[in-house]
Every structure is written in C-alpha cells, then in structure tokens.
A = this chain, B = another copy of it.
Amino acid sequence: MRISPLFEIKHKDKNSKARVGILYTKKGSIETPFFMPVATKASVKHISSKDLESIGVNAIISNTFVLHAKPGEKLIKKMNGLGNFMNFKGINVTDSGGFQMYSDRCYIGSTEEEVIFRNPFTGEKMCISPERDMQIQLDLDSDIAMCLDSMPLLHHTKDEIAEAVRKTSLWAERCRIYHNNAQKRIPLKKRQLLFGIMQGGIYEDLREKSAREIVKIGFDGYAMGGLALGESKEEEYRAIIAQKKIVPEDSPVYLMGAGHPVEVLEAISLGVDMFDSRFPTQNARRGTLFTSQGRIKIFNNKYERDSKPIDPECDCFVCKNYTRAYIRYQLAQEEGVGFRLSSYHNIYYMTRLMEQTRAAIKNKTFLKFKKRVARIYEKSDQDSKNNFKKFNISRKKKL
C-alpha cells in the first residue's frame, strides 16, 4: 500500500544513526530530518501561513479532534482540504487527537470499540472510533494522517501502559484496514499517508512489543507516542533506541512532541526523522528565546534596555528590525506583536537548526555540530541558573 518511493535515505552518518532522507507525499517531497510547528486550529499561534512560507517551514501538524469539533471536517472538506483552507503550500500532517481526548479535562473512558470524552467546546459527550478518526482525517485531506492510539500518561502503572499498548495495536489494525479501503481507488501518488503510533511508556520491553506489533501491521511511517511528557532524558532516549531498532531502516520515524533543540538533535542521532512540538512557540510567548548562544529569558532585567536583536547572528526579519528591549516590553504587555515577533524568531531558529543539521549530516560533521549546540545550551542554562534536564518553561512575569 506504499507510495513508491515513499522515503529515500540520501545520506547516513557513520558515527550515529542520523540520516538525511526525502519523504514523498501527495503535496510534494520534504527533506528529513525536519521539525513541524504546531497549528492545532489550522494556524500556528500568531503566525500566518505566509509567515511560515517566509520562514521556510515545509510541514506543520494540526489536530484532528479540535478541527472536528470546530469548524468541522465537512467545512474544511468543502474548502478543498486543510492545506487550501489555511493556504499553506507545505505538507499538512494531522494528529489523531488522541492526546487531547485523553487529557484530564476531556477523557471519560474508552471501550474496546472507541474513546468516549467530552467536547471541550460544548461539554457534550462524544465518541470517536478508529474508523471515524480515519474518515475525519481523510475529509480534512491532510497529507499524512496518524492512527488513533490509546495514550497512557506518565503516571500510569506498567499494567495500564501494557493495556494501552494492546489497544493501540488493535486500533492501529482497524485504522489500517479502514484507511486502505477508503483509498483503494485513489492513485498511489495522490493517497494520504498513514503513520502508526507506537506506545509503551518508559518500559523498554513494552516499547519493543508495541513496535513489533505496529510494524507487523505495516504503515508508511512510525511515530513514537507518549514521550517528551516529563520522563527523564535517559528514559526518553532508551525508549527511542528500543523502538528504532525494530522499525525497518527505510521507514521514516517520527518522535511526537519533542521540541527542545538539544533533545531533537539527540533523537536525530538515534535515527529519528520528524519532530513536532509547541515548545518553540509556547516558550516564545513566555519569553524564552532560542539563539546561537543558547536560550535567553527575555524577562531577565538585564534585557530591559538592551538594544541588541534577540540573536545578533540571526538574519530573520525580527532580528533585523527589533530590539530585545522592544520585544520584552511587547511580551510583558501581552501584545499580539510581542507574541508574533517572538514566535516568528523561535520557529525561524528551529527551521535553521534543522537545515544546519541536514548540512552537518551531509558534510559528515553531525556529531561535532550536535556537541557544539549541546554545549551552548548547557552553558546558557547554567548561566541562567536553571536545571536543563528539567526543561523548565519560564513563567511570564508581569513587568
């Protein structure tokens, strides 16, 4: 059921599992590894699709469940699909929405058949089955769809996570069957891709079991779910290694929810090809900005009268036109301009970081590059007396 070729590996790093590849979708191809900003409600917060184009973002991820609740997939289908609706020329990925359904705010329960939860907009009870989730994503007409998984949280017991792994495999199979049938008559090159999601928490044996079951069903790509949720970096990396060794070498691998520059580079060295996270945009809105010198917390008093750009070495339109003092003031006042300028810069930073990563893999300097970035972040985090490993997100102070 594969588009052929679906994924081509072009360069392999000799000293790690890092690789540069090309992923082909119905909307066009994209070089891996890449990072996707999050566009939950068909927009990246404060960043228009024209901004994304000017930054050079080639893929974003939206949320099936949120778009189903409002404005509804029928409306988006009528507007010729998600890409046309938001006028984004790159690749649209949709997450199944499992993450939201399983949140404390929404989750009611889940049967063998489907997830039962509350519509966060209306409070109304809703049920979504794997088949229904597939149909919604087909209607949204995204370029890559994700299976509906059963998503355990970090605090769940090993037994609960094992049960989630079981249900995830069961539902993955139903997703695969429905999705195949629905696209039977569509030419291969025009088909939406479908990625399986692997679970297993921090338990390597469950991670392996889940990977084996999902790979056995067979998907266009494989995502690692239920990570980047607060487990330690060591636990996260061990889980990645456990599943990566089971996924076929020529399949794209996607680590869901990871967005810290160092975490992303580590995962790339373990063979991951795709990332998404609200980390860069959420941090931006809270005043944490990524630079060539590591991260800076703009609400620190030393930036109050700083007439330098966020990053003197960055050539984005924000750094060419605005000072730290101005962005700090706009953010402190919660002005839309502050949110936009800081978000633009952080997405630009991540997009350039991925470009540099691909170049480093091609130039055989990847591990050196990764080490340099890690050292810079460690230093900037020590400087601001934060514990890097905890991934603290700075709280916005009212100035």
Residues of A within 8 A of B (CB): 41-50, 70-71, 75, 78-79, 85-87, 304-305, 307, 317, 321-323, 325-326, 329-330, 332-333, 335-341, 399
Which of A325, A326, A332, A341 has most B Cβ within 10 Å?
A326
Q: Which residues of B contact A321 (CB under 8 A)?
A: 48-50, 87
22 A-B pairs whose Cβ atoms sit less than 8 Å apart in the complex: A41-B333, A42-B326, A43-B330, A43-B336, A45-B337, A46-B336, A46-B337, A46-B340, A47-B336, A48-B322, A48-B340, A50-B321, A70-B329, A75-B325, A75-B329, A79-B305, A79-B307, A79-B326, A85-B325, A86-B326, A87-B321, A87-B326
CB contact under 8 A between A317 and B50, given known A75-B305, A336-B339, A340-B336: yes
Bound form: Cα–Cα A85–B337 in Å: 14
Q: Which residues of B contact A336 (CB under 8 A)?
A: 43, 45-47, 336, 339-340
Q: Which residues of B contact A48 (CB under 8 A)?
A: 321-322, 337, 340-341
Closest residue of chain B to A121 (Cβ to Cβ) is: B398
Per a CB cutoff under 8 Å, which of B49, B50, B75, B341 touches A304? B75
Nearest first, the 8 closest Cβ-Cβ pairs linking A and B are A46-B336, A43-B337, A71-B329, A41-B333, A87-B321, A43-B335, A48-B337, A78-B305
Closest residue of chain B to A304 (Cβ to Cβ) is: B75
Closest approach, in angstroms, between the C-beta of A38 and any C-beta of chain B? 13
Closest residue of chain B to A399 (Cβ to Cβ) is: B70
Bound form: Cα–Cα A341–B340 in Å: 12
Bound form: Cα–Cα A325–B49 in Å: 15
Which of A47, A329, A341 has most B Cβ within 10 Å?
A329
Bound form: Cα–Cα A79–B78 in Å: 50
Bound form: Cα–Cα A222–B107 in Å: 62
Closest approach, in angstroms, between the C-beta of A329 and any C-beta of chain B? 5
Bound form: Cα–Cα A78–B85 in Å: 45
Closest approach, in angstroms, between the C-beta of A327 and any C-beta of chain B? 10
Q: Which residues of B contact A325 (CB under 8 A)?
A: 71, 75, 79, 85
Asked whether, in the complex, the Cβ of A79 is within 8 Å of the Cβ of B337, the reply is no
Bound form: Cα–Cα A339–B44 in Å: 13
Closest approach, in angstroms, between the C-beta of A317 and any C-beta of chain B? 7
Closest approach, in angstroms, between the C-beta of A367 and any C-beta of chain B? 38
Asked whether, in the complex, the Cβ of B329 is within 8 Å of the Cβ of A87, the reply is no
Closest residue of chain B to A67 (Cβ to Cβ) is: B329
Which of A47, A78, A337 has most B Cβ within 10 Å?
A337
Closest residue of chain B to A87 (Cβ to Cβ) is: B321
Known: A45-B336, A46-B336, A71-B332. 7 other contacts (CB 8 A): A46-B340, A48-B321, A48-B322, A50-B317, A70-B329, A71-B329, A71-B399
Closest approach, in angstroms, between the C-beta of A143 and any C-beta of chain B? 18
Q: Which residues of B contact A337 (CB under 8 A)?
A: 43-48
Q: Which residues of B contact A50 (CB under 8 A)?
A: 317, 321
Per a CB cutoff under 8 Å, which of B70, B86, B322, B335 touches A45? B335
Q: Which residues of B contact A79 (CB under 8 A)?
A: 305, 307, 323, 325-326
Closest residue of chain B to A334 (Cβ to Cβ) is: B41
Bound form: Cα–Cα A307–B81 in Å: 12
Closest residue of chain B to A335 (Cβ to Cβ) is: B43
Closest approach, in angstroms, between the C-beta of A77 and any C-beta of chain B? 10
Bound form: Cα–Cα A260–B41 in Å: 32
Closest residue of chain B to A321 (Cβ to Cβ) is: B87
Bound form: Cα–Cα A323–B86 in Å: 9
Bound form: Cα–Cα A44–B41 in Å: 24
Closest approach, in angstroms, between the C-beta of A356 and any C-beta of chain B? 26
Asked whether, in the complex, the Cβ of A322 is within 8 Å of the Cβ of B43, the reply is no
Per a CB cutoff under 8 Å, which of B46, B87, B307 touches A322? B87
Asked whether, in the complex, the Cβ of B46 is within 8 Å of the Cβ of A329, the reply is no
Closest residue of chain B to A398 (Cβ to Cβ) is: B121
